Structure 1
Amino acid sequence: MRFIRPAGPADLEALMELAELSGAGFTSLPVDEPTLADRLALSAQSFGGEIAPTEAWYTLMIEDAATGRVDGVAGVRAAVGLKRPHFSFRVVTLAQFSSSIGTRFDHRALVLVNECAGWTEVGSLFLRPEARSGGAGQLLARSRYLLIGAEPTRFAETVMAELRGWVEPDAGSPFWDGVASKFFRLPFVEADRMVMSTDGQFILDLAPRHPIYVELIDPQACAAIGRCHRDGEPALAMLEREGFERSGLIDIFDGGPTVTCARDRIGTLARARRLSVRIDTDAGVDTALLSTTAVADFRALRALATVRENDVLISAETAELLKVRERDVIQVSA
């Protein structure tokens, strides 16, 4: 059985391995040990309540209970764009009309914006290729929402997710090559690394300040606007099933889409109930998504359970993995 738990400094080796497997363009998992070590330290502080709620960045691990191997990672940032801008391009339509010739033109353009300040971000979802079966991806993705649901006031009313943009098989990024590189003039891999390993001042200094007309962009880069990386398509589908929608925002480096949803309308949370635990040798035949109800020591898993009006029957093994006892309250979602 796989379960979700908080990540901390002891997970550095596993996180480095996952970062190396994730490949080019996975901005939130750079192959940079100091950056990932800082992130794990921040995760421990976040779960421990040692920092302000808006500064928290929770990192979750999915672990195989039988082997102890970490099979994947996901994250929740409580609030983006507060200490430094969180830039995106908004895809807008600029209408131009000439009364003298009676002609109207609608132009698509990319406009640099900072609209996401204070939003909660779910992201960093990555699984080992050999672990992408048996519902592991769904468990990892949905556990992020149950973490938010455990203590909603720690998180914003708007939740966003940024999907990795389209990258060619040779690791080339059409959007970077056709648009972003004209302003930053760095190799894509270097700029990608700097997003997480620096304070981002270079973005503030160099990002374009004026609209970029899409008609002037080369066709390959244009086709990549809002296009999700092939490996991110399952994640996008899961987000859409939860109620996330495209926002019209794209990443300024790779052109990947940003999707958003109101926190309380996320499907997993809308269906979740808080029920008292009953431990029974016969937990039932139906599978449910279960989690604890506190951010500290958060745990989640999918297991057999019998949901009743005021309580839920689970096995002793499930209770042990969740670290709950009889009569404790847990979250249960279909």
Structure 2
Amino acid sequence: MLVVRPVQLTDLPQLQQLARESLVGVTSLPDDSECLRDKILDSCTSFEHNVQSPGPENYFFVLEDLATRRLRGCSEILATAGFSEPFYSLRNRDFNSTSRELNIEHGVPALSLCHDLGGHTLLRGFHVEPALTHTAFSELLSRARLLFIAAHARRFSDALITEIVGYSSDEGHSPFWDAVGKHFFDLPYAEAERLCGLESRAFLAELMPQYPIYVPMLPQAAQDCIGRVHPDGQEAFDILAREGFETNSYVDLFDGGPTLFARTDAIRSIAQSQATEARPDSQIDARGRYLVSNDSLENYRAIVAELDYIAGRPLCLAPEMCAALKVSEGSPVRLIAL
């Protein structure tokens, strides 16, 4: 059985292997043991704290195979983007110019460096091993974060965002980076993303142009990257799109990938998940597939389960499901159809 749970320090070696295999552009998952160790300790502290409102907390989850103790993926929630340092994006909006004498009004799309999205809760660090892509366990790894937010709403903002990795070639070249960022850093795209993961997004962003970049002046290959999703990031995009996330006018400042946005109370797994109580039962007449989580904090768990659920009644769970979720008779649980 595969279960989503909070990361532990003992996960470090396996987590670094996941980081090594992750897509270039997932900067929140650096292939560096010290950085990952700090992230794990930061996450452990966040789960332990008594939080009444969103702050700098970072909640890191792993997908574990209970039979083999092998990690199959990871995902993350940053409670407040921009809490500790500015959270930079590129705002993609028309720059309007008007001539009364010529009776001309014209809009030109332009990219402007901004930190408008600071204060929102950020979903990041999603990575699942290739064998599990396009399965229920990709859904579990991504959406378990949303069930966690539903259970602990005071810890998070009233809006969520996520940055989807933008297009780059198999060789690691980003046409958008080559046309914009490379002129200010003289670094390859992959190296810039690596530094962003190891150091700080802010120090790189502060070297970016402070004036609008007019999109028509960029090479066509770079223009085509604006809002374009990397093929390996499409599943992460699709899962959240089905949850109600939508693209907006913001893109990533390194690769031009899209930013998704949603109001927290409108997200499917938050608004439509059902809260009930667990009831251990050795015989279940399964009629549907669900994502199920407990409502714990430090001992949070989430699984995929074949169940028969009737609204308003306790949820019957097989003994192995109860063990995976760390629940017993009467424990609060939350579920939503897969």
TM-score category of the 2 structures, normalised to the smaller one: over 0.9
1:59 and 2:60 are equivalent in the alignment: yes
Which residue is 2:20 aligned to? Answer: 20
1:94 and 2:122 are equivalent in the alignment: no
In the alignment, residue 40 of structure 1 is paired with which amino acid? I
Which residue is 1:180 aligned to? Answer: 181
Which residue is 1:318 aligned to? Answer: 321
User: CA offsets per residue over residues 112-164 of structure 1, 9 Å max, x none?
Assistant: 11111111111211111123254110111110101111110000000011000
In the alignment, residue 156 of structure 2 is paired with which amino acid? F
Change (3 A) 1:195 1:14: same
Whether the 8 Å contact between 2:54 and 2:157 is mirrored in structure 1 is no
1:41 and 2:44 are equivalent in the alignment: no
Whether the 8 Å contact between 1:46 and 1:53 is mirrored in structure 2 is no
Secondary structure of 2:206's aligned partner: helix
In the alignment, residue 5 of structure 1 is paired with which amino acid? R
Secondary structure of 1:207's aligned partner: coil
Which residue is 2:4 aligned to? Answer: 4
Secondary structure of 2:222's aligned partner: helix
Q: Offset of 1:332 from its aligned partner? A: 1.5
Q: Offset of 1:58 from its aligned partner? A: 0.8
Secondary structure of 1:206's aligned partner: coil
Which residue is 1:155 aligned to? Answer: 156
Give the whole-Å Cα distance in 2 for the aligned partners of 1:176 and 1:93: 21
Whether the 8 Å contact between 1:306 and 1:314 is mirrored in structure 2 is no
Task: Give the TM-score normalised by structure 1.
Answer: 0.96
Q: Offset of 1:30 from its aligned partner? A: 1.7
User: CA offsets per residue over residues 246-291 of structure 1, 9 Å max, x none?
Assistant: 1210011111110010111110111111111111111221222110
Whether the 8 Å contact between 1:2 and 1:65 is mirrored in structure 2 is yes
Which residue is 1:258 aligned to? Answer: 259
User: Aligned-residue CA RMSD in angstroms?
Assistant: 1.6
Q: Offset of 1:37 from its aligned partner? A: 1.2
Whether the 8 Å contact between 2:137 and 2:304 is mirrored in structure 1 is no
What is the correspondence of 1:148-227 to structure 2 with a 5 Å cutoff?
148-227=149-228
1:302 and 2:304 are equivalent in the alignment: yes
In the alignment, residue 33 of structure 2 is paired with which amino acid? E
Q: Offset of 1:300 from its aligned partner? A: 0.3
User: CA offsets per residue over residues 42-64 of structure 1, 9 Å max, x none?
Assistant: 11111222788512111111111
Secondary structure of 2:55's aligned partner: helix
Which residue is 1:331 aligned to? Answer: 334
Give the whole-Å Cα distance in 2 for the aligned partners of 1:227 and 1:200: 21
Q: Offset of 1:14 from its aligned partner? A: 1.0
User: CA offsets per residue over residues 61-95 of structure 1, 9 Å max, x none?
Assistant: 11112221110011111111011100100101112
In the alignment, residue 258 of structure 1 is paired with which amino acid? T
In the alignment, residue 329 of structure 2 is paired with which amino acid? E
Secondary structure of 2:143's aligned partner: helix
Q: Offset of 1:201 from its aligned partner? A: 4.6
**Which of 203-212 and 252-261 deviates more?**
203-212
**Which of 37-46 and 150-159 deviates more?**
37-46
Q: Identity, % of aligned pairs?
A: 32
Secondary structure of 1:54's aligned partner: coil
Whether the 8 Å contact between 1:138 and 1:238 is mirrored in structure 2 is yes
**Which of 172-181 and 288-297 deviates more?**
288-297
Change (3 A) 1:46 1:312: same
Give the whole-Å Cα distance in 2 for the aligned partners of 1:100 and 1:232: 48
Give the whole-Å Cα distance in 2 for the aligned partners of 1:210 and 1:107: 14
Number of residue pairs the alignment of both structures matches = 334
Give the whole-Å Cα distance in 1 for the aligned partners of 2:328 and 2:206: 53
1:122 and 2:123 are equivalent in the alignment: yes
Task: Give the TM-score normalised by structure 2.
Answer: 0.95
In the alignment, residue 309 of structure 2 is paired with which amino acid? V
